[in-house]
Amino acid sequence: MRAYNFCAGPAALPTPVLERAQQELADWHGRGLSIMEMSHRSSDYVAVAHKAETDLRTLLNIPDNYKVLFLQGGASLQFSAIPLNLLGKNARADYVHTGIWSEKALKEAQRYGDINVIEAGRTIDGKFAIAPQSEWQLSDNAAYLHYVDNETIGGLQFDFIPESNAPLVADFSSSILSAPLDVSKFGIIYAGAQKNIGPAGLTIVIVREDLLDQARSDIPSILKYSDQAKNDSMVNTPATFAWYLSGLVFEWLLEQGGVAAIQQVNLQKARLLYDYIDQSDFYANPIALQNRSIMNVPFTLKDTNLEKIFLKEAEGVGLLNLAGHRSVGGMRASIYNAVPLEGVQALVAFMQEFAKKHG
Amino acid sequence: MRAYNFCAGPAALPTPVLERAQQELADWHGRGLSIMEMSHRSSDYVAVAHKAETDLRTLLNIPDNYKVLFLQGGASLQFSAIPLNLLGKNARADYVHTGIWSEKALKEAQRYGDINVIEAGRTIDGKFAIAPQSEWQLSDNAAYLHYVDNETIGGLQFDFIPESNAPLVADFSSSILSAPLDVSKFGIIYAGAQKNIGPAGLTIVIVREDLLDQARSDIPSILKYSDQAKNDSMVNTPATFAWYLSGLVFEWLLEQGGVAAIQQVNLQKARLLYDYIDQSDFYANPIALQNRSIMNVPFTLKDTNLEKIFLKEAEGVGLLNLAGHRSVGGMRASIYNAVPLEGVQALVAFMQEFAKKHG
């Protein structure tokens, strides 16, 4: 029996996707071999890869002047790849700091240029929030402006897209495909797959064509966007199985009605959970209303001594992976696209019962 | 029905491994979730990852003073990671050039230092061979000596391990685990998984501990061996499914009797195919006897016009992916560990029949 999985990543995948992958795992479409055993240059595999890209383009309405790359190494490798691709030697970039992931990104970038850090996290009435852009000090000459749309660990999400003269570069690892997105406002959108796309080991980079050809000469070929774009993300062998499985997730998303439809379910799930936490005096969420993540809901228990019991009892009723990130503790429910409304309903029912028993 | 798959990579996987992965794909060991949906830091997953490493250490008898890293990006990303880890600015390294892959490796390295290229490919009596080390011009002050044990495209394999005062760094992508190997002679052994290990998207790096801490300051963290070693290859989320599946392949290899036992099967397979080619005047292999690859057997047909018919008829009887690399043409049978003796017998029988029909 499948449990409800609230893991922040690698995260829940849609059950119908796993069942389809399972059915065709040892013999893909009667070809006598697994999709994992196929040359990435075979016509069968190229069709699978191409369909995944086409479906992703449809889901996010990606304009024609953007390339979609299917790479390896995670968002963390992009933390280096982005400055290596966009930042001439000793050039400047603006980085908005809102939490642990945006900090990791800017620390990597500091190796490659002059990084202007915009401290945009602030506490308002005891709740953590993102400072409005009017208070940011942007550089005049930045090569780009970088931010993390959704801080997976903090549970803090942007409620706006920053305005910028410099190309906007954004990490959407934990929020991509959760809601419609105007890709045309961005220079680069990137995301590790293992939250809202597919299995770990794949990273999607959506890059505007005019940004392809600015890489430093000492960049590794595998990280160079122009080389990957020219070679359809196959400068070398890509993560073929993860790419294929992400394609199945894209098909599933289209069957659900696309990103606008799944957004409605996501809002319903998030509202259910936040509303319950807010009216409870047993649980609390530390984030200001306007910056609450729709995907990652951190919460604390009134008595931290109850955390272990909470996790154990939750696991006992099939509610898995509710521990907060090891760096911050507490609880966290990641409610990505693949976590159904029923999962959140079951979680809230359990939280109610637990509060009654231990409150 | 499963076909015989002679693809050079992504390549054949053992059928029992695929069947086991299939059986537990949607619900791993009754936990209610897929191995793909598990946090890489969960105790279940860490145990899977650790067992894979332990089994690989057993298979290759890896000494304790070597770290085993499970990374992303393919051997091609290692082409950059190696000089970034081992080559101080403007330092020197020796690269042995024997074919297409060793050339790619040295071209990436040329970005990061002074590369002494040793041209070791040569033609003897019309056959391609590797020049003996006595004829190489090694540098006095090289940071390391790099070579590719088995040229996957050329079908050319070293019949010796080079002697070197500098640490020996070797790409074993297409020959790792095909035969016993004295790891203690090497500084670094690396291999993309998609040939003889597991699915694409995973790269194994076996690195001697004294080489961990020599990286340049501008290396991306994800590529830095010391960081990855300290974090058990989890500086960020690794390719969890590929790592798991490679672990199943290691278990399967141990069940076959380990690397020494599989080597005997590999030698039998290679002998069968080369012996047939050599006695035929319809087929030919371009490599000198002592440097013939045990894993990748390229061959030509007397009449190149017959190539398309050969491939089509082979496919018709379930012998897949026999086309040579697009850069060289001709035919190639990759006969990795997971290709059974019966597969090679079926191939030779088909080749005989084809030669009779068209000869």
Under the banding of pLDDT at 50, 70 and 90, the label for residue A88 is confident
Q: Give residue-wise pLDDT tens across range B201-240.
A: 999 999 999 999 999 999 999 999 999 999 999 999 999 9
Q: Which of B195, B224, B232, B252 is catalytic?
A: B195
**Catalytic positions of A, written as ranges:** 101, 171, 195
pLDDT at B220: 97
* Amino acid type, A203: T
- The set of residues, in sequence order, having a beta carbon less than 8 Å from that of B173 and lying 6+ positions away, is B9, B75, B101, B148, B150, B152, B190, B191, B192, B195
- Bridge partners (DSSP) of residue B168 are B145
The HSE-up count of residue A164 (CA atoms within 13 Å, CB side) is: 28
Q: Confirm or deny that B182 is annotated as ligand binding.
A: no
pLDDT at A329: 81
Are residues A351 and A278 both part of a single domain? yes
* Residue B4 maps to a domain: no
Burial B59-71 (b: 16+ CB within 10 A, else e): bbebeeebbbbbb
Give the distance from residue A199's alpha carbon to the nearest chain B alpha carbon, in angstroms: 6
pLDDT at B328: 80
Are residues B116 and B205 both part of a single domain? yes
CB contact under 8 A, A221 and B108: yes
CA A29 to chain centre: 31
B-chain CB neighbours of A26 within 8 Å are: 2, 15, 18-19, 22
pLDDT at B261: 98
Token reading at A43: 């016509």
Residue A38 confidence (pLDDT) above 90: yes
Give the residue among B54, B13, B68, B11 at the shortest CA–CA distance from B233.
B68
* Residue B8 maps to a domain: no
Are residues B51 and B84 both part of a single domain? yes
Mean per-residue pLDDT of chain B? 97
Nearest chain B residue to A235 by CA: give it.
B76
CB contact under 8 A, B26 and A192: no
Under the banding of pLDDT at 50, 70 and 90, the label for residue A327 is confident
Nearest chain B residue to A3 by CA: give it.
B32
Token reading at A252: 């599933």
Q: Give residue-wise pLDDT tens across range A47-86.
A: 999 999 999 999 999 999 999 999 999 999 999 999 999 9
Token reading at A56: 């992703």
CB atoms under 10 Å from CB of A304, counted, come to 10
* Residue B3 maps to a domain: no
Under the banding of pLDDT at 50, 70 and 90, the label for residue A297 is very high
Range B187-204 average pLDDT: 98
* Residue A86 maps to a domain: yes
What is the share, in percent, of chain A residues with pLDDT greater than 90?
96
* Residue A2 maps to a domain: no
* Residue A302 maps to a domain: yes
pLDDT at A99: 97
A-chain CB neighbours of B79 within 8 Å are: 220-221
Nearest chain B residue to A315 by CA: give it.
B31
Dist. CA A15–CA A338, nearest whole Å: 8
Mean per-residue pLDDT of chain A? 97
Are residues A205 and A273 both part of a single domain? no
Residue B28 confidence (pLDDT) above 90: yes
Dist. CA A169–CA A188, nearest whole Å: 5
Give the residue among A50, A45, A41 at the shortest CA–CA distance from A33.
A45
- What is the domain-level CATH number for residue A268? 3.90.1150.10
Give the distance from residue B279's alpha carbon to the nearest chain A alpha carbon, in angstroms: 31
Q: Determine how β-strand A283-284 pairs with β-strand B121-124.
A: unpaired
* Residue B28 maps to a domain: yes
Task: Find the angle CA(A55)-CA(A58)-CA(A64) to the nearest 5 degrees.
Answer: 110
- What is the domain-level CATH number for residue A103? 3.40.640.10
Q: Confirm or deny that B152 is annotated as ligand binding.
A: yes
Are residues B222 and B109 both part of a single domain? yes
Out of A2, A9, A201, the one facing B27 most closely (by C-beta) is A2
Range B150-170 average pLDDT: 97
Q: Determine how β-strand B156-157 pairs with β-strand A188-192.
A: unpaired
Nearest chain B residue to A37 by CA: give it.
B11
CB contact under 8 A, B236 and A36: no
Under the banding of pLDDT at 50, 70 and 90, the label for residue A89 is confident
Give the distance from residue B308's alpha carbon to the nearest chain A alpha carbon, in angstroms: 15
Token reading at B31: 């936990």
Dist. CA B214–CA A86, nearest whole Å: 27
pLDDT at A167: 97
Are residues B232 and B281 both part of a single domain? no
B-chain CB neighbours of A235 within 8 Å are: 76
> In the listed set B194, B222, B255, which residue is the last one of a domain according to the structure?
B255
Q: Give residue-wise pLDDT tens across range A252-282.
A: 999 999 999 999 999 999 999 999 999 999 9
Give the distance from residue A111's alpha carbon to the nearest chain B alpha carbon, in angstroms: 6
- Verify whether residue B243 is a known catalytic residue: no
Are residues B86 and B234 both part of a single domain? yes
Q: Confirm or deny that B22 is annotated as ligand binding.
A: no
Range A214-227 average pLDDT: 96
Residue B250 confidence (pLDDT) above 90: yes
CB contact under 8 A, A36 and B15: no
CB atoms under 10 Å from CB of B304, counted, come to 10
Are residues B207 and B267 both part of a single domain? no
* Residue A7 maps to a domain: no
Out of B37, B223, B326, the one facing A11 most closely (by C-beta) is B37
Are residues A178 and A321 both part of a single domain? no
Q: Which H helix or E strand runs over A94?
A: strand A92-97
Are residues A169 and A75 both part of a single domain? yes
Are residues B217 and B84 both part of a single domain? yes
DSSP B238-273: --HHHHHHHHHHHHHHHHTT-HHHHHHHHHHHHHHH
> In the listed set A222, A255, A288, which residue is the last one of a domain according to the structure?
A255
Phi first, then psi: give them for residue A253, nearest 5 degrees. -65, -40
Dist. CA A274–CA B93, nearest whole Å: 58
Find the domain containing B293 and state its range. 258-358
Residue A140 confidence (pLDDT) above 80: yes
* Number of domains present in the structure of chain B: 2
Residue B326 confidence (pLDDT) above 90: no
Under the banding of pLDDT at 50, 70 and 90, the label for residue A336 is very high
The single residue listed with the structure tokens 């900090």 is A103
Give the distance from residue A239's alpha carbon to the nearest chain B alpha carbon, in angstroms: 4
CA distances from A326 to A330, B235, B276, B338 (A): 9, 14, 60, 40
Token reading at B354: 């084809």
Under the banding of pLDDT at 50, 70 and 90, the label for residue B327 is confident
Are residues A28 and A136 both part of a single domain? yes
Size of interface A-B (CB pairs under 8 A): 220
pLDDT at A169: 98
CB contact under 8 A, B218 and A111: yes
DSSP SS3 for A251: helix
Q: Give residue-wise pLDDT tens across range A202-216.
A: 999 999 999 999 999
Give the residue among B172, B224, B160, B229 at the shortest CA–CA distance from B196.
B172
Out of A5, A39, A202, the one facing B7 most closely (by C-beta) is A39
Range B302-325 average pLDDT: 95
Out of A13, A27, A72, the one facing B201 most closely (by C-beta) is A72
Under the banding of pLDDT at 50, 70 and 90, the label for residue A164 is very high
Dist. CA B80–CA A253, nearest whole Å: 37
CB atoms under 10 Å from CB of A342, counted, come to 10
Contact B54, B246 (CB under 8 A): no
Dist. CA A4–CA A346, nearest whole Å: 9
> In the listed set B201, B227, B255, which residue is the last one of a domain according to the structure?
B255
